[in-house]
Amino acid sequence: MAQTTKNKEYDFVIIGSGFGGSVSAYRLSQKGYKVLVIEKGKWFKNADDFPKSNWNLWKWLWLPTFKMFGLFKMTIFRHATIFSGVGVGGGSLVYANTLPVPKAPFFKSKSWAHLANWEKELKPHYQTALKMVGAARNPRLFDGDKVLREIAVSHGHEKSFEHTNVAVYFGKEGETVKDPYFKGEGPTRTGCTFCGGCMLGCQHNAKNTLDKNYLYLAQKLGCEIIAEREVVDVQRRENNAHPYEITFHRSTAYFKKKEAVRAAGVVFAGGVLGTNALLLKLKEKKSLPNISDQLGFGIRTNSESLLGVTTERRDIDFSKGIAIGSILDVDKDTHLEVVRYPEGSGFFRTAMVPAVMGSNIFIRLGKVFWMYLRHPIKYIRAFFVPDWAKYTQIMLFMQSLDSTLRLKRGLFRLKTALDKGPAPTSSIPMAHKLAEEFGEKTKGTVHSLSIEVLTGLATTAHILGGTCMGASPQEGVIDSRNRVFGYDNMYVCDGSMISANIGVNPSLTIMALTERAMSFVPAKGKIVSGSRKPVAKKTIAKKKAAVKKKK
């Protein structure tokens, strides 16, 4: 059963509990603020709350219309298919734990480099975030990682092959210990079993999801978290103390009774799709009319391609390990990761077709049928492989090359349009070449997601942008400290603030940017209403004395 709020007035209401929302919750609570976090998804508190495989669609997929309240969401647009996470802890529930620091081109991108020396300023905040989520180097390589290392060696890139840095507790396998990270203030942790189940929600208490660090510690400081609530309106009213009214309703019910709370400040942290959808709605219906017209622009897909290689060999097990245990930097703009689901999680088998490229759907479909006609036995064997997850290696290919889309309101839902550069595409020759090489080394068949073949468009789990940073409202939606132009005490802290193509998993960077933004927020009692600048207590006292004397 969903929770209810304990109060009607808060210093800050945070909409979303992912990487930005959780950091905001903890840091604002530390500074003495009364904080409420509102999360659309469910609260997965026990191992049994998570799906044991992705065939358990009711526990895995988020499709409220069909009473599916899982932690994984797929959204199909005209220009891209988006994977995202839902639940208390947001994307940390379903992401592959990886925490890479981006390469220099990201920090120097002309889209935001003029706002700050990002590489220098974010460096300490990267370190803080890594410590908070218990980042550690993956200690073990498994079958898929070893093949990736072979490819690195064959291309002369052995030095560019690395074990991933991940948010996982690598204690003694299966052994539960007292909190090893926060001097006993955090929850117990259990040593990773390398089962490959990271992206289904860790059932072994080894994955350092946000509910086990930032959110856990925020709650100990008095922060409230309510799940299964979706914010539908945010209005600014004439009230000096708590000017923002936040309206929300049950996200898991057909009959949605509205509730409302008031706040002095608001942090939008509902992820790219959630935050952009809500802000576009609020701007259109005049709840927050002063939001910049740049809202929805600068959407980036991380230039990704997803391919699968299904092996005929039975001495290989691609399901063992952590979700992503290794990474290969192919060049300064490109890197490749091997991704795994746990044994028995073969849902994506139903969505795979031969991997082909082509400029239009007729060429691609023609190639698919030709592949089936040319190698029928091979593709039949691949489709009916005994355990798809065990014998299929997913290959995630990312580039930091820049092109952007735009999100805007449609009749019933968000829709995409082209912004700058070419449309994102799954037809990346280098990705297909490397997947074929992986297949040759493992006696495997290369597949693509059918949606990619049908549309020719990219699938991404790392959608970014839409409320990008700028020096003014004419250039961006938020400033370099994440403050929304046109409104006091209003912030955006999630993937929608990322203002350049990152080329790697963005989770660490979202946390680092949010740590930086929250570092500028003064402790409670040190800010004058309506001002963005911290003011010393003596200054406030002098002003009050002057007013009293004047009276």
Identify the bridge partners of residue 464 per DSSP, sorted by sequence position. Answer: 300
- Report the run of H or E that residue 491 belongs to, with start and end: strand 490-492
Place of tokens 């059918």: 450
Which of 125, 204, 432, 462 is labelled catalytic?
462
| CA–CA separation, 222 and 35 (whole Å) | 8
- Give the DSSP per-residue string, 145-162: HHHHHHHHHHTT-GGGEE
- How far from 285 is each of 294, 414, 416, CA to CA, in Å? 17, 15, 20
Query: SS3 helix, strand, coil % of the chain, rounded to 5?
Result: 30, 25, 45
Who's near 56: CB < 8 A, 6+ residues apart? none
**Nearest Cα to Cα of residue 464 among 431, 424, 412:** 424
d(CA 89, CA 162): 27
Amino acid identity, residue 24? S
The total of other beta-carbon atoms located within 10 Å of residue 505's CB is 25
Closest CA to 323 of 180, 448, 179, 167: 167
Please name which of 128, 35, 125, 49 lies closest in space to residue 93, comparing C-alpha atoms: 49
15 contacts: CB under 8 Å, gap ≥ 6: 21, 38, 231, 234, 246, 266, 267, 268, 269, 270, 274, 275, 278
3-state SS class at 434: helix
Strand partners, 15: 38, 268
The secondary element (H helix, E strand) that includes residue 395 is: strand 392-399
Query: Each residue of 427-449: b (16+ CB within 10 Å) or e?
Result: bbeebbebbebbbebbebbbbbb
- Whole-angstrom distance, CA of residue 32 vs CA of residue 286: 32
Give the separation between CA 218 and CA 268, rounded to whole angstroms.
17
Q: Which is nearest to 496 in space by CA: 517, 482, 512, 485? A: 482
Q: Report how far residue 59's alpha carbon sits from residue 70's, in angstroms, rounded to the nearest whole number.
A: 4
Give yes or no for a contact between 431 and 397, defined as CB atoms under 8 angstroms apart.
Answer: yes
Known catalytic residue: 375?
Answer: no
**Number of helical H runs and strand E runs in the chain:** 14, 27
Q: How far apart are CA 159 and CA 117, in angstroms?
A: 28
Contact between 206 and 168 (Cβ < 8 Å): yes
Residues serving a catalytic function are 462
